[in-house]
Structure 1
């Protein structure tokens, strides 16, 4: 079995962050979302992974390398434009050959891994196996309809009037049967080759399509709120440790990670929270569910329930919360702004705020 990871999307819902960064590399608890995906595939025993890349290929290739850090062998497959999930399968046809494969969307986060999914597929080997989860608004997703035995009998892509509340999770398993139907697909009204259409074709041809309802936590981290929520969830399982320096005038409460080279002085950090390598926290309050990346500075400020990307600084700001702050951002005081701030700042931003 091989892995196919999709990392070619442009991430429009995470702009302005993704104007200059790949959405799959936005960190959760100071680790890119894409890395959780690669670790999950490796943990399931799959060691050959093809990564579909697009305009952000250089950044992704630099971050992932040859895959050895994850215990896998990575091959990069270039997609000239994000023309649908089934189009990615088409692009990867030669790489996949006649192997079964697991396809994983690189901006999806699934708590608990995919070991059970892969084991069940290997044992039963249907033409396709999908993962489903119940959602409050199925109109935003691909939706599956099941029969009484749990077998998939129909799929709809973002239906106006959904027939169920079971949405497709961004992890799929296929035998080589999928290539036959993908080769004959026509673009949808969105101009894309839809994987839901390909799976529906398998069903129409009498092929077996099985499903597994996710019992754990799943999120598509395509927008800021979901990214912050996944960050919160991962930090909930954090084990505290102090590898950096914390002075006697500081207080760490709960599960806090202070990475090697970080300095916390005259500050209060309430976990779960993580302070990245080379970061300075001085005269500040860092509240729960906050991830401060490497080489940042939080000085005379308060921040909570937020993600701060590398080399950014917040100085003299009374309150930042529910925020996603990009690379190389500077946040400094200005008069007349509210006491609490909610920010989504792209890389190299310059912001003045009241203290």
Structure 2
């Protein structure tokens, strides 16, 4: 099965991190979120993938190349206008997928990777014009509320329902299997009030006319990587709960005299002096943490450097950023401090 990954967005809510790196390259447990997506697709047998790119796309292309080291074939397509809506982005995959069912996903999602295989397998057991995914949320008003019939058929999908009005707690999770019929549906929908082609409107049209769009309920972890707080929350969740099944990039032993707590992750290729890495902190490959530095609930992205004697708490050091010796960088779970 082919796959189309939408990875062209700017990621405004992730600023200032996305001032230096595209959102799909933001690391979760020391790997870019897009790498988690690609690896999950590969394990599901989706090994011919088109990545739709725009903002800082050269970083994505340089990191992933042709996909060989991830066990897939990767191609890239530049999206001229990422503001055209999710439906417009999905249309860009039409020529690539030709006349076969394909998997479509957003490139900024973290989920328990077994869900990719389960989605594909369940679709193959019961082929339809579309199978979408849903995750349970207390309030789906920021996403799209999904109403599901007893036989898994999609009844209704409502984009960004006003708070308190959603008839379901199931939310559009952003991973789909479609036949090429979805492209004709996208072409027939009107522009939304925001002037965009909304994929959810095309899904509703397909469900109304074909009556066979079904819903797979995700299990385990699901989150979009929407803002800096979400990065730290995801690191904490994944490092705390191994049953989520998300692979963590870490080396077997800490280097030198560094103290690294078991609930942290230091990638191979990180250079640690006599420092402390504590409380769900993540240190990526190609980083340096100097003598006497203490990290708590923090993430050091690739190429970042933390100077001697620094104290970081609820902080993110962006790719290539340097925190000067003796700096105290303290944020909160809701608003992490960011060094760029």
TM-score, normalising length: structure 1: 0.84
Aligned to 2:256: 246
Secondary structure at the counterpart of residue 188 of structure 2: coil
- Change in Cα spacing, 1:227 to 1:76, as seen in structure 2 (3 Å) is same
Which structure has the highest helix share of the two?
2
CA deviations 1:188-235 (Å, max 9, x no partner) are: 111111111111111221330111111211111111222221122233
Match of 2:337 among 337, 343, 348: 343
Query: Structure 2 CA distance, aligned partners of 1:158 and 1:278?
Result: 40
Task: Determine which structure has more spread, i.e. the larger CA radius of gyration.
Answer: 1
Q: 1:1-51 CA deviation, whole Å, 9 max, x = no partner?
A: 210000011111112222332111111122111110111111101111011
1:159-210 deviations in Å (ceiling 9; x for gaps) = 1221211110011110122122122222111111111111111122133011
Q: Which residue does 2:245 correspond to in 1?
A: none
**Inter-CA distance 305–243: structure 2 relative to 1 (3 Å threshold):** same
CA distance in 2: counterparts of 1:258 and 1:233, whole angstroms: 16
Instruction: Write the distance in 2 (CA, Å) between the matches of 1:203 and 1:239.
Output: 40
The offset of 1:239, in angstroms, is 8.1
**Contact 1:258 1:274 (C-alpha < 8 Å) held by counterparts:** yes
Trace 1:284-303 onto structure 2 (pairs within 5 A): 284-288=293-297, 290-291=299-300, 293-303=302-312
Distance 1:226 1:244, change over 3 A: closer
Aligned residues: 328
Q: What is the CA–CA distance in structure 2 between the aligned matches of 1:158 and 1:269, rounded to whole Å?
A: 40
**2:156 pairs with 1:154:** yes
Q: Higher strand share goes to which structure?
A: 1
Is residue 279 of structure 1 aligned with residue 283 of structure 2?
Answer: no
Distance in 2 separating the partners of 1:295 and 1:153: 48
Q: Per the alignment, in what secondary structure is the counterpart of residue 183 of structure 1?
A: helix
Name the CA distance, whole Å, in 1 between partners of 2:265 and 2:231: 20
**Which residue does the alignment assign to 2:278?**
270
Give the equivalent residue in structure 2 for 1:131: 133
Q: Is the Cα–Cα contact under 8 Å of residues 27 and 309 in structure 1 kept in the other structure?
A: no
TM-score of the two chains, using structure 2 as the length reference: 0.88
CA contact (8 A) 1:307 1:323 kept: no
- Contact 2:27 / 2:301 at 8 angstroms: preserved in 1? no
Q: Aligned to 2:124, which of 116, 122, 125?
A: 122
Task: Find the aligned partners of 1:112 and 1:46 in 2 and give their Cα distance.
Answer: 13
Change (3 A) 1:253 1:165: closer
Q: Which runs of 5+ in 1 are unaligned?
A: 325-340, 348-355
1:40-79 maps to which residues of 2 (within 5 A)? 40-79=40-79
CA deviations 1:70-119 (Å, max 9, x no partner) are 11111112211121221122122111100111111001111233111110
Matched, 1:202 2:211: no
What's the Cα RMSD here? Answer: 2.4
Alignment partners' CA distance in 1, 2:301 and 2:74: 29
Cα shift at 1:242: 4.7
Within 2, Cα distance between the matches of 1:9 and 1:215? 26
Structure 2 distance, partners of 1:219, 1:255, is: 20
**Separation in 1, partners of 2:310, 2:70:** 37
Note the C-alpha offset of 1:278.
4.5
Which residue in 2 is equivalent to 1:10?
Answer: 10
Q: Higher relative contact order at CA 8 Å, sep ≥6: structure 1 or structure 2?
A: 2
Distance in 1 between the 2:191 and 2:260 partners?
Answer: 54
> For the Cα contact (< 8 Å) 1:243–1:261, is it kept in 2?
no
Q: Distance in 2 between matches of 1:79 and 1:261?
A: 34
Residue segments in structure 2 that go unaligned for 5+ positions in a row = 243-247
